Each structure stands twice: as C-alpha cells, then as structure tokens.
Structure 1
Amino acid sequence: GDRGTVASVTGNMGNLYAETDDYLRALEYYGQALALYEEFGDVDGVVHITGSMILTLLTHDRFSEAAELLDRQATMQIDHREVKARRMSNLAILAEHHEDLDAAQRHLTEALAITTEAGMRTASLEYHQKLRDLAQRRTDFAGFIEHNAEFLRISEEVRGKESIQKLAMMEAERNSEAERREHEKHRALLYSALPKSIADRMIRGEDVTGDYFNDAAVMFLDIAGFTSYTSDMPPALVVKMLESMFTTIDGICDKHDVVKIKTIGDSYMCFRGDGNATTNASSIANVALDAMKEVFTWLNGEAVRFRIGLHIGPATAGVIGTQRLQYDVWGDTVNVASRMESTSEPGRIHVSEAFATLLSPSPSHLRERGANTISERNEGVPVIPSGSEEHNGVPVIPSVSEEPGTWHLELRGETELKGKGLMTTYWLMPTDR
C-alpha cells in the first residue's frame, strides 16, 4: 500500500500505546513510523513523529535520550505552529529537570505566544496551566495570578462535555484533513515527476529502484537541423514549438502503452518493456511511425523532420534521485538505440537487426533476404514485409491503435556504430513510401 498511509497508521498506533501508558510499545511504533518517513523524505512526518518520541521519553524520565532528539529536531525545518509550540514545551520540561526554571519559563512563554496567535484555545489552556504551576515553583505570585486567571477563563469557555467533544472532533478533522492534503501533495509530486504507471507503483509501495527487462524496446528521436533552424528564433518560441511536438508524441506513447523516459534538448526517449519481445517492438514501431506522420513546420514553411533510431534488448530501469525524481533506463540496449538514431537520416526510422527480426514474420526469411538486398534497396524495392495479414498485398503490423498502421522493412546494409563496429541495419517505412 501507500507508504505514506502506512507511516501515518504506524504513528497513530504509537499514539494509542502512549495514551495507555505503554511507552515502550509506543516508542517501538514511533521508531518504525520515523524510519518510513525518513525513507521517502517526508520532512513534516519526521518532525511530527520526532516530537511525539521526545514527549514520550520526557514523560518517562528518559531525559538524555530526549535531549538528543531535541538537538536533532533543532536542525529540522518546522512549519506547523503546533509542533513549534510543543517543541518549546518539551524544552521547558527538560529545563525544569535541570532546575533551570528561568529557561523553562522562557520556553513556555514562547509556546503560549505561538498558540495564542494561532487561536489554539485548548493548547493555550495547557500552557497557561504549566506557566501557573511554574510560577508557583518560582514564587512568582504575579505570574501565578495572571496565568491562573487566564486558565480559569479559558476553562470556562471550553467547559462542558459537548464543547470538549466538539473541540476534539474538530482537532481530529483538522489532523485528518492535514494528512489528506499531505497525501495528495505527495501523489501530485509523483505524478508530475514520473510516468503514471511508475508513480502508481510507488504509491502502492512497490520497489521501482531496479526493474530489469529482457526485451526492452527503446526509441530515440531527434529533430533534424534543430540548431540551424532555431538559431535566430526567440527562445520562448523555441520552447513553445518543442512543447507542441513533444506533447503530441507524449499522446502517441500513451496510445501505444509506451513509457516516456525523458527529453534532452531536442531529443526524445521512450521505451516499452512490460510485454513480450514482439509486443514491445510493435508498440515502439507504431510510436515511431505515428510520430513521422505528424506534420510540423518551421517558420520558413519547411517541414520539420525527425531522425529516429530503434533497438531492443535487455535493460535496467528505475527511479533515481531523492530531490528530483526521475525514472531512467540504462544498458547497452539504450546505447545502441541512441547510436541507431545518430546514424539515421532525416525523415527515416533506423532499426537494428534484432528489432527488425521481431517485426519480420520469418526471421530466417529476414536473414536470407538480407544478404542480397543492397541492389534491391537501390532500386527502391522493399525487402521485408511485415505481419501475417495483408491488405491489397501489403502486410499489416500488429497494433493497439484503432487504425493499425502498415509498414515494411528495407535493408540499409552494414552501418558503422561507435563502439560496436559494423552492424546490419534496416529502415522501417510506412507503406506509402
């Protein structure tokens, strides 16, 4: 389940044990909740649970441990006024233990100022009572009279079972709403930073730090001539144009169950690894073909042309980073796909032999035809037809779209890939080419 919810429930279990004075069990659950909050970087959760642990330790005279946690809490960013006030109160308890009554009085006065400004009547009542009792210890009669009067006045306001229950319900509702908002904020952050399928897995508490795919189909797309075409364009217009293109390709990826990985400048990377090899290759092929069909133009009216490279093979993927989450894919498969793109040509889809083999109805036929096809390619004859069904003599690619695309493969020949040497590669082409 959602780790945020698990952490919250675990912390609430600690609260229940603390209320029943089973402080050892309370500390056990608080420790588990703290570890969960620290694991996924929930600062507010860490601050709240640390405060609960401090109060429990102080209540049971474990002052040295409480002091260590108070020192740690001092380095944390505390945004909630109630937590700030509770910290001051805990410091006052520790000061009283060391017989530093003046310091205790300063801490409690600050806690009272925080709750009074925030209109937190129940908390203010508690701090007036603490200050009254402390004034008695300090033989501060004026202080005793002042805080006792305020304590009695506020007590009168909240007296009665119905009023107390109402305040408790309001407090519970505020806490619940705060937890819900925090949960939604966490979800929104994940969805803004990660592919939806990956964010859903993280919310369910699944491990997404090391996915391995035997048959990951990877696509790299680059805009041909981007630098020369955009050198004189206003930056805002360049960004707007890229946003239009890449948003369109995002939609194409969603249509074919393909995961967008990232954009770097004018380059776009996506992959699919959750299906079998043929399904993954077909999905990525459809994305490439659909992207090529889209019509974009430069300011001078010339058509924008993409250069695309495709490859398939084993790859590792996972979420990296803690401050800015990113789902990325690594491995030699990614490197080859990138080099397929860099050695492609404007307006063409360059595919490896491994990828082409999966698109061919007969891998042996692909190899047989491949050895003798350079001359045929020069005459414009397609080499490898796709699919097992034909429409007007043109085989049809397996597709998840409403209107399945059609394509054919044409042998390019031996291509020099950096770090790989010569590789047999192919052009993936729509039937109208």
Structure 2
Amino acid sequence: MNYIEIQTRIDAANAANNDGNYDEAEHIAFEVLEELDSFTAQILKNIDGSSEPLLVGDTDPILLRTDALFVLVYAAHRRGMFNAALEHAERILALAEQYSLNQILPKAWNALGNIYLYLGTYDKSLENYTKALAVFEELGLKPNVATIMGNIGLVYYSLGIYDKSMECNTKALATFEELGSKKGIANTLRSIGLVYIHLGDNDMALEYFSKSLSIIEELGEKTAVAVSMGSIGAVYLNLKSYDKSLEFYSKSLSIHEELGEKSSVAREMGNIGNLYQIVGLYDKSLEYMFQALSVHEALGAKAPSALVMGCIGLLYANQKFEGYDSYKSEEYLLKAIALNEEIGAKHNLYENHLYLANHYKQNGRWKDFAFHFERYHDIEKAVRSEEAQRKTEQLEYQRKIEESERDRQVKLARFQEQEKILHNILPANIADRMLDGEKTIADSHENVSVFFSDIVGFTKLSQQVNAQDLVGMLNGIFSQFDQLARKHGLEKIKTIGDAYMAVCGAPIHIDNHAERTALFALEVADMMNNYSTVTSDKVSIRIGLHSGSVVAGIIGENKFAYDMWGDAVNTASRMESHGEPGKIHVSEEFKHAVETFHATSLQFIRRGEINIKGKGMMKTYFLEKNI
C-alpha cells in the first residue's frame, strides 16, 4: 500500500469507530501499523543514521502511525479497556516528543487526559488537559479550546468542585454555540446536566439531558445517545418515576449492546438491577445483577465487580426475597470485602462490613457480628479521617490549580498583548507570520502602486508654531491619511518627518491597486485643500504615484519595521519631489495600470517629458477627477 491507500484505510477505521464497530476499527488499525512497520523502519534508520536534515515528507509514516494509534485509543477507551488505551496514547506521545510532531502533542495530551479522567487519576488528567489547552489557545483553535475546557469541567465535576465545573462548561458551551458545533453543544449540555443531578436539582438535570439527547439523536451519535439515555434514566430514578427510568435504562442498554460496548452494557445492567431491587422485583434484580457481574469480571473490572457483589449479597440477605439465602448472602458479601480490600476501596469496604455485621446479628452469630462491626467502625473512622485530610489536600490542590490558571492567563495575556502590538505596527498577515515563528520575512511583489506625499514648506512652518502644535498638526493630518488608507485598501509603510508613504498590492496582492491608490490620492488632496493650520494658514502637499515591482520585508530585531525597496519606491518618491503643490504627479506606468481597469472617473493631464533625477527623461501626468 502507498501512503494515500494507508490514509484511506485509517479513514475507514475512524468511520468504523464512529459507527461503534470497534472490532473492525481495531482490525484495520493493526493492519495499518503492520504495513507501516516497513516504511517507518527505513525512515527511522535514515533519521537516526544520518546527519542530513529531515526532509519534507519523511515524517509521513510516523504521522500515519500516530493516526492509527489514535484509532486504537478511541476503540479501547469506548470498550472500557483503559490500560490498553493508556498504552496506545503513551506511544503516540513518545513519537510526538521524539520527532517534534508539534501538531500531535496537544492531541496526545488530550487523549491522556481523557483516560486518566476515567481512571480517577485527576491530577494527571488535569495536567495533560492544561498542557493541551495552552497550545490550542496559542494557536487560536477555538473548537479544540472549547473541547478541552469542557473536559476540565468534567475533572472538576469528578472532584466535586461543582462551581468550577459549571464555569468551565459554561465557557465551553458559549464557544460551541458561537461555532455552531452541535456535537460540542450536546456534550456540554450533558456535562452541565451531570452537575445539576449532583446538586440535587433533578428538574434542571432532566432539562439539560433532554436538550443534549435531542441534538445527538439528530446527529446520529449512537454512543452519546445511549449515554444520555442512561443519564435521563438516573434522573427519573431520583424522581421515583420508575417506569420512565426503566424505559430509558433499557434503551441505553440496547444501544450499548448493539455497539458492543461491554463496560457500558454492564453499567446499565447494574442500574436496571438496582431499580428492580428498589421496586421489589427481586428475581429480576438478581438476574440483571448476575449479568452485570459476569461482564465486569470478564473485563477484569474489579471495582464495579466488587460493587455488584455487595448488591447481590444484600439482595440474598433480604427476607422479603423469595430466594433469601443466608449462606449466599455471606458468600457474596465476603467476596465483595476481599475484592474491595485488594483494590483499596475503603468506602465500599466498610459498608460491606456493616451489611455483613447486620446479617450475622440477624442470625444470632454474635462473635462474627462483633468482628465485622468492629472492622466497620475502624475502617469508617479511618475513611472519615482520610476524607478530612483529602478535603484539606483538595483545597490545596485547588489553590495550585487556580495559581496555575492565573499563570496561564498571564502568559496568554502577554501573548495577546504581543499580538496586539505587532498588529498595530505591522500588516496583519505579516504580524501573523511572525507570531507563527517565521524568522526571515522577505517577499517580492511584481505589481504594486506606491504613494508618496510631502508637505510643502514644512521647514518654514515648523519655525512658526511651537513643538506641541506642530506634532498635534502632523498627528491630525496623518491620522486622517490612515483612515483613508484603510478605506481604499492601502497599507501605510512609514512616515519620515512630514513625508507619508503607503502602498497598495502588498503584502496582499490586489488586482486594481493603481485605481485604489488613485482614489486614495484624490481624497488626500481634497482633504488637504480644505486644511488650515492653527494660525489659519493653508497647507498644501505634493503627491507622487508610480506602479511597478518592489521587495518588502521585516527589518530590525527589537523595533520591527515593515519596509520596502526597489525602483518603484524610488520612482514614486521622484514623482513627488518633481511634482507641484496641490497636484498629484504620476508616471506613465501608473497611468497604464489605472487604464487597465477602465476607471472612467479619472483623467490624466499630460505634463510632457521632464528630466527626473536618477531616471532621465520621463513622460509624466497630473491625475485629476473626471468631471
């Protein structure tokens, strides 16, 4: 396969992931990685064994490899196989760091943040999200910024810091709405719904979940549809609308089963089992609990397995249940205790000890009761102490987060201020090129029009007014020139004393550059014909115009300046200096450039041939409005 064929296969794998065909996606991705091994081995050999610089295209196999690994990350993540997802994501990050794949780095950090979030390693999750956010903000990639902001909101939600979670999600939602990103809007609405359900506002939670579901059903995002339906089922359970809760849990389960999302299947089975236990349908509850346990154990998911074992033990201990079985209750509660001890899930562990102690009390087994009640009391006390310590640590952690956020905002503000300053002193696209890291900017422009003007008798005038009035006068005149230049699409190059230079057609090409420059010059001339100094003296200017080619670029290391050079600049300057007060003196080349666009509102008055310093005899004209 060539690179194009490999990319086509990766696109097919991504499509399979989007459709929930994770087996197919993984199959294609592994095929692609195998195919790339031969390419990559040769490329890495060339890179590692040669002092030659990396050629454009040499990293193509490496980039394709990261694309294939991203497919595996997504598929493993959706299946609940987080360790596998983590392994693939770390391979992506290693490649990105080793071969300076700067466009891949923030995507790898985001993937790692997602995985650590689901693993409950919130500090690492936030660390990776923050790195990704800084890069995306610097690049101005709003969709990515909004996505990461929403992900950070989920971290705060998981930490129980609901105000920060809501703040992040609100920012993300505003950006997605601005961009018209329906998928982003839907995901963020669901995240806000999660916050409301934990704040006990079930009505608001239901409203946000329903809005989210409506959008993702329209988009056909099956996994997201299933997740939102499960969330709505939880709200109805809280509202004791058990029929509606079962309806949405069942729909969610059906979609997850169709997509082969085993971890989610087990979760929804457990939810349905819990619902049946609440309404007293114990046989049904046990059936779903065992199905959930079977899937969790097959996936090696110890925490949810222990949780379900405890629920089964409680169910067997319920004397209202026809299948009441003291021995099985003891069996499953002991299994839950052993597994929770293994994984260190102390909160569930002390609850299991309490349930088992009550079971022994009910059966008159006082020695066993005393042992497990004491274990319950000791572990519960330790947990409360740990929770108090954790709360203190959480406050410290939050302080560090806020400090980190302030630092990030300061860096962003500095970058934005730098960007603002550069845009004020340089043409916009030149400033953007500098911000993107371009070191040397030098461009040739074949067809531009150059404008020069000079105030007649400025030296004499400067002797008649004080410095403040003189500077104020020049500022007033040139500020109006700047406004007219923006109106007609010219770029101001510089002012030197009382001289003003502008160009049209650079740094961005404009076809009718001469016509625009002519109209600008006429408006400048009209403005100056009506201008008076503070002493009520009239001020006149000479204007010179020429069309031709120039070289333009950035000069200086600290005080940057965008300047241009070439015969067209010199000739335009000569047109001004050889002109007459109050008139617009233009070259024959400028006249021809204007006439190319049949500008009927303009007329050229032949001046004849004159001797231009440094140029010799030239045909020149005065530009006027065609009345």
Which TM-score band (shorter chain)? Answer: 0.5 to 0.7
1:281–1:339 Cα change, 3 Å? same
Q: Give the superposition deviation at 1:319.
A: 1.5
**CA deviation string 1:179-234 (max 9, x = no partner):** 21121121122123223343244345567711211111100010111111221210
Q: Give the superposition deviation at 1:282.
A: 0.6
What does residue 461 of structure 2 align with? 229
Q: Is the 8 A contact 1:158 1:164 kept in 2?
A: no
1:163 lines up with 2:395 in the alignment: yes
Equivalent residues in 2 for 1:339-358 (5 A)? Answer: 339-358=574-593
1:279 lines up with 2:512 in the alignment: yes
Q: Is the 8 A contact 1:213 1:316 kept in 2?
A: yes
Q: Is the 8 A contact 2:547 2:593 kept in 1?
A: no
Instruction: Report which of the two structures shows the higher radius of gyration computed on alpha carbons.
Output: 2
1:277–1:160 Cα change, 3 Å? closer
1:418 lines up with 2:594 in the alignment: no
Distance 1:172 1:418 in 2: 63
1:29–1:325 Cα change, 3 Å? farther
DSSP-derived class of the 2:493 partner: strand
DSSP-derived class of the 1:237 partner: helix
Distance 2:408 2:560 in 1: 27
Distance 2:563 2:397 in 1: 51
**CA deviation string 1:73-106 (max 9, x = no partner):** xxxxxxxxxxxxxxxxxxxxxxxxxxxxxxxxxx
Equivalent residues in 2 for 1:391-406 (5 A)? Answer: 395-396=600-601
What does residue 525 of structure 2 align with? 292
1:315 lines up with 2:510 in the alignment: no
**CA deviation string 1:8-41 (max 9, x = no partner):** xxxxxxxxxxxx9xx99999699x9xxxxxxxxx
Q: Give the superposition deviation at 1:298.
A: 2.6
Distance 1:210 1:302 in 2: 43
**CA deviation string 1:351-405 (max 9, x = no partner):** 00000112236xxxxxxxxxxxxxxxxxxxxxxxx936xxxxxx32xxxxxxxxx
The percentage of aligned residue pairs carrying the same residue is 36
Distance 1:190 1:411 in 2: 42
DSSP-derived class of the 2:441 partner: coil
1:158–1:348 Cα change, 3 Å? farther
Q: Give the superposition deviation at 1:293.
A: 0.9
What does residue 562 of structure 2 align with? 327
Distance 1:313 1:252 in 2: 22
Q: Is the 8 A contact 1:278 1:359 kept in 2?
A: no
Distance 1:172 1:424 in 2: 67
Q: Is the 8 A contact 1:221 1:269 kept in 2?
A: yes
1:192 lines up with 2:192 in the alignment: no
What does residue 408 of structure 2 align with? 176
Q: Give the superposition deviation at 1:263.
A: 0.2
Q: Is the 8 A contact 1:305 1:346 kept in 2?
A: yes
DSSP-derived class of the 2:495 partner: strand
Q: Give the superposition deviation at 1:291.
A: 0.1
Q: Is the 8 A contact 1:229 1:298 kept in 2?
A: no
Higher relative contact order (Cα pairs below 8 Å, separated by 6+ residues): 1
Distance 1:26 1:175 in 2: 25
What does residue 241 of structure 1 align with? 473
Q: Give the superposition deviation at 1:330.
A: 0.8
Q: Is the 8 A contact 1:216 1:314 kept in 2?
A: yes
DSSP-derived class of the 1:160 partner: helix
Distance 1:356 1:226 in 2: 29
For 1:430, the aligned partner's letter is K
TM-score of the superposed pair, with normalisation by structure 1: 0.52
DSSP-derived class of the 2:581 partner: coil
Q: Give the superposition deviation at 1:178.
A: 1.8
DSSP-derived class of the 2:512 partner: helix
Distance 1:427 1:338 in 2: 15
**Equivalent residues, number:** 253
**CA deviation string 1:98-126 (max 9, x = no partner):** xxxxxxxxxxxxxxxxxxxxxxxxxxxxx
1:175–1:158 Cα change, 3 Å? farther
Distance 1:25 1:358 in 2: 54
Distance 2:400 2:99 in 1: 23
1:29–1:187 Cα change, 3 Å? farther
What does residue 625 of structure 2 align with? 430
For 1:413, the aligned partner's letter is G
Q: Is the 8 A contact 1:262 1:269 kept in 2?
A: yes
For 2:536, the aligned partner's letter is G
TM-score of the superposed pair, with normalisation by structure 2: 0.37
